[in-house]
Structure 1
Amino acid sequence: MPSIRLITLDLDDTLWPCMPVIQAAEEALYAWLESRAPRLTQAEDIASMRQHRHEIMERRPEIAHDLGMVRRLSLVELLDRHGHDAGIVDAALALFLENRCRVEPYADVLPSLQSLSRRYALVSVTNGNSNVEVTPLKGLFQHSISAAEAGAAKPHPAMFERALALTDCRPDQCLHVGDDPWLDVEAARQAGLSAAWINRMGKTWPKELAEPAVTITSMDELIAWLEESDNGL
């Protein structure tokens, strides 16, 4: 394997648990709307609002990668449908994003990234809309790229290509780390990168995919593998 200079990392379910954070953020937004848009919350629950966003993604596939835009359009439509002023959308989205970024990284993540950041360029790449710079991991990444910024979500190669361009690295100098076999591992390989599958939950690797370069259950194991592979650590 060529010497690794760049490590790209997925965020949700790779560096922190995702669903508890999303659920808490949606609950906080819904509680906020109950006092400011009561007709909306009387007619809609969290599940129906989520379904409405999915419908927008189907209607508007050109923006489906931009989850912030999808959420904005959905709120505007629902507020209008139930007779409320859409002028509260900015405040609503700010509240949601504040809660969306209240993540708690897995215990192995912070010390491992601190170690890796001294030896590699680290770039986060996410299909989500969390801002890593307002999390406990702030300052550890040279760049952070979202699907909204890149113009496409994984498995499209846009985020990987941007990470390579920003760090002046070749694909064979980059290792991607992520939890999803298709959106992370296979997508990275299709873009010419090596890929590590972080399998924290004991999932089974899809039979139809070639095995990843390495399977790990924690970031500590990634460091150990890099040391054994003599990739520059």
Structure 2
Amino acid sequence: MLQPRFRLITLDLDDTVWPCEPVIRAAEEALLDWLARHAPRLAALHDRQSLREHRSRLMAERPGIAHDLGLARQLSIVSLLEGLGYPPDLAGRLGEQALAVFMAHRNRIEPFPDAAPVLRRLAADYQLVSITNGNADPELTPLAGLFHHHITAARAGAAKPDPIVFDLALRLTGTGPGECLHVGDEPYLDVEAARCIGIEAIWINRLGRTWPDDLAPPTLTITDLHQLAAWLDISGGGRPSADDA
């Protein structure tokens, strides 16, 4: 019997298995509503954009935490509260609570229609590992139970394109780069980052983007995960058919 070409498939999350911007917008709006009730002086001075700008400045000033988006969001809020005269203990508690509010809404994702059925099928033949620079948790979404492991930049200690993120997936599953296939929507952070350590990569282009001229083309470009499953069947990446036995 022929052996599958790959043992492990790693997948990005945001804009690969679910749309990112709608859920981020809703989570940030929920956070602002919460701040209006619990930290009104802060809410009166800031909107979604100004909070993002402050957080970006904090991450630039403290690159050691820039990969941990949840911590950066929490510390940004604490910093703003302290700047408004909130006592440090109160600012710290409000920062923790604010992050919890954001994360509760951050995980209220709606997967792309192809995501659940294809991941369910692939999980029967491959180890599936989610790899994200974001901080959503698939186990708290409608995709719970479909990934064997979940890696965030915060867990890995670095963000893509750092190879440590992919290395962690290989270590967790006992696989080598040649046994792994990565699927993601970012040409540099996903496709090129994976290829740099010997992992074959597929670009999922749901938004009609243009591939960068300075990068070699990906192994395959797809617009949904059904096309990934079909390619795996044709290329020998999936379970051998009866004719192969």
TM range (shorter): over 0.9
Displacement after TM superposition at 1:181 (Å): 0.4
Residue matched to 2:71: 69
RMSD across aligned positions (CA)? 0.9
Matched residues in 1 for 2:84 and 2:159: separation?
Answer: 32
Q: State which of 175, 183, 190 in structure 1 corresponds to 2:181.
A: 175
Matched residues in 2 for 1:88 and 1:66: separation?
Answer: 19
Displacement after TM superposition at 1:46 (Å): 1.6
Q: Deviations over 1:147-186 (max 9, x none)?
A: 0010100000111100001110010000000000000000
Residue matched to 2:148: 142
Residue matched to 1:31: 33
Q: Which amino acid aligns with 2:146?
A: L
Contact 1:4 1:232 in 2 (8 A): yes
Matched residues in 1 for 2:129 and 2:25: separation?
Answer: 26
Residue matched to 1:161: 167
Residue matched to 1:43: 45
- Residue 119 of structure 2 is aligned to residue 113 of structure 1: yes
Contact 1:52 1:74 in 2 (8 A): yes
Q: Which amino acid aligns with 2:5?
A: S
> Which has the larger displacement, 10-19 or 81-90?
81-90
Q: Which amino acid aligns with 2:113?
A: A
Q: Which consecutive unaligned segments of at least 5 residues does structure 1 have?
A: none
Matched residues in 2 for 1:30 and 1:115: separation?
Answer: 39
TM-score normalised according to structure 1 size: 0.97
Q: Which amino acid aligns with 1:191?
A: I
Structure with bigger gyration radius: 2
Displacement after TM superposition at 1:88 (Å): 1.7
Displacement after TM superposition at 1:11 (Å): 0.2
Contact 2:74 2:98 in 1 (8 A): no
Displacement after TM superposition at 1:232 (Å): 2.8
The aligned length equals 232
Q: Which amino acid aligns with 2:172?
A: L
Residue matched to 1:216: 222
Displacement after TM superposition at 1:187 (Å): 0.4
Contact 1:177 1:185 in 2 (8 A): yes
Contact 2:78 2:94 in 1 (8 A): no
Q: Which consecutive unaligned segments of at least 5 residues does structure 2 have?
A: 240-245
Q: Deviations over 1:119-165 (max 9, x none)?
A: 00000000001011000100011100000010100000111100001
Residue matched to 1:206: 212
Matched residues in 1 for 2:35 and 2:208: separation?
Answer: 38
Q: Which amino acid aligns with 1:91?
A: Q
Query: Residue 131 of structure 2 aligns to a residue in which SS?
Result: strand
Q: Which runs of 4+ in 1 moved over 3 A?
A: none
Q: State which of 65, 80, 83 in structure 1 corresponds to 2:82.
A: 80
Q: State which of 228, 231, 238 in structure 2 corresponds to 1:225.
A: 231
Matched residues in 2 for 1:215 and 1:10: separation?
Answer: 15
Residue matched to 1:52: 54
Q: Deviations over 1:70-99 (max 9, x none)?
A: 111101101111233312222211110000
Matched residues in 2 for 1:113 and 1:199: separation?
Answer: 17
Q: How does 1:10-25 map to 2 (within 5 A)?
A: 10-25=12-27
TM-score normalised according to structure 2 size: 0.93
Identity fraction in percent? 56
Query: Residue 130 of structure 2 aligns to a residue in which SS?
Result: strand
Displacement after TM superposition at 1:44 (Å): 1.6
